[in-house]
A and B are shown apart, each in its own frame.
Chain A
Amino acid sequence: MKKKPEGKAPFSQYILYLGCTVPVRALQYEISARKVAERIGIQLADVPEFSCCGYPIQSINHYAYLLMAARNLALAEKQGLPICTLCSACCGSLTEANHEIQEDKTLRERINEDLSQWLGLRYEGGVRVNHFMRILHQEVGRKRISEKVEADLSSLQVAPHYGCHYTKPSTIYGKAEDPENPKSLDELIEAAGARSLQYEDKLACCGGGLLAMDEQVALAMAQRKLEHIRAEQADAMILFCPFCSIMYESNQRKIEKTSGKEYKLPVLFYPQLLGLAMGMEPDELGMKMNRVRPTELLKKVNRRTG
């Protein structure tokens, strides 16, 4: 595990679980999340051996999915720390597998038999899985976040995108949030000092789950939301799942080309917005990696100097 800087006692400690997409296609999310976590006092450790969470094979073989998730959980259990995910699909996949393994003793025994025989690992069910955003909202809290705000974002109005796996299925999250009326992202946006917009079909899915199967359907789903957000003249879309970002940001140009429409909608990960509010430089937050340049948005950030 990576050594952490000495100093003040941490607010809390987690292992950062990156998954497949963040380190390859959304590095700005990881960079900005680590920066704001450090500022807040959340210590993040690393396990370089983590693999895919298993989500992609839920539809192919449920048991193999459980084994893939259990392998990661077993690696985390060795460190004795809870997992913090950045990707919402990873959070859902690991949380769901965790529940199944914890609740079903027979299944747990079968999984451990295979894990130990094939990979020399065991998972006893002792790891807690949480999403970075839920840690910010529930453990750190809006008040502590507001206290760290140093720049004025009050002229920004942004469109929150919750995605699906952060709140649903609500059964695995212990009803942490009403999936039909979630508020955490809106509240975290306001805690950073920006204005959170309401818009049509705010809770709609990005379509990312279908990108490999049927690109046309997936992009049509993403485009609907880009339309609805444009109608509200948002300065940016704010989200916290790397796959949603692929749909709305990486594929935005493609959607524009095939439809002949123009959106030019900046898409930021929430920690990038929070980092700006905390007075960090855009470069520190990986903004050079954002495909749709947030140039106009950055002009509206009022840095309190002197």
Chain B
Amino acid sequence: MIDSKTLDPNFKLIIAAEPGGENIKKCFSCGTCTAGCPVREVTDRYNPRKIIRMALLGMKKEVLSSQFIWLCSSCYTCFERCPQDVRIPELMNAIKNIAVREGYLPPAMKTQLDLLSSFGRLLEITDFENEKRKESNLPLLQGKTEDIKKILKKTGLSS
């Protein structure tokens, strides 16, 4: 049961002000997104229609602290099919951006941030990679860059 006293009617406005979240209020809950969702096909833990409905109702804490908002695979199938142009993968990213600001960064994403900060890439280019490149006659790559660390620091994503 939803306790209406705990709902935050401003939540949908906060989402609509976030890049990618602009079209949330256009959703009329037809469920086209969920019907064609390849993640929904293998688990019932992800249901985009339900997430959007919860967000529109103002279930801010339940949505932002949930694991399920992180289960969109970004395949964009629903993006192409949504009759209301809600742009669901971008909307999910908007909700996740807000969740991160509210302190809900999943450990797996934290790991990715750390890797990017250290190497400028998700996968490190070591001497081993460059040695293999030399053997295969491929141009060598720069092992790492400080630029990404700077970007992440300046945007408050790493310390």
- A residues near B (Cβ < 8 Å) are 2, 18, 20-21, 23-25, 27, 30-31, 34, 46, 48-49, 51-52, 56-64, 67-68, 71, 114, 118-119, 164-165, 168-170, 179-180, 203-205, 207-210, 212-214, 217-218, 220-221, 224, 286
**A60-B109, A164-B76 are known contacts. Are A51 and B152 too (CB-CB below 8 A)?**
no
Interface residues in chain B, defined as those with a beta carbon under 8 Å from any beta carbon in chain A: 18-20, 38-39, 41-43, 45-46, 70-77, 79-80, 87, 89, 92-94, 96-97, 100, 105-106, 108-109, 111-113, 116, 120-125, 129, 132-133, 136, 138-142, 145, 147-148, 150-152, 154-155, 157
B113 and A205: CB pair below 8 A?
Answer: no
Pairs A-B, 9 closest by C-beta atoms: A168-B76, A205-B75, A51-B120, A220-B42, A24-B123, A209-B73, A20-B122, A64-B155, A164-B75
Chain B residues with Cβ below 8 Å from A164 are 73-77
A71 engages B141 (CB within 8 Å)? no
A-B contact pairs, 9 of them (CB 8 A): A51-B121, A57-B113, A64-B155, A164-B74, A179-B76, A205-B75, A213-B70, A218-B73, A221-B38
Residue pair B100, A61 in contact (C-beta under 8 Å) = yes
**Most chain B Cβ neighbours within 10 Å, of A2, A18, A51, A286:** A51
Q: B125 contacts which chain A residues (CB < 8 A)?
A: 23-24
B140 adjacent to A48 (CB under 8 Å): yes
Q: Which residue of A lies closest to B43 (CB)?
A: A217
Contact A205 B77, beta carbon cutoff 8 Å: yes
From A46, A52, A179, A224, B116 is in contact (CB under 8 Å) with A52
Contacts of B92 in A (CB 8 A): 59
A30 CB contacts on chain B under 8 angstroms: 138
> How many Å from the CB of A13 to the closest CB on chain B?
15
The answer to whether B121 and A118 have CB atoms under 8 Å apart is no
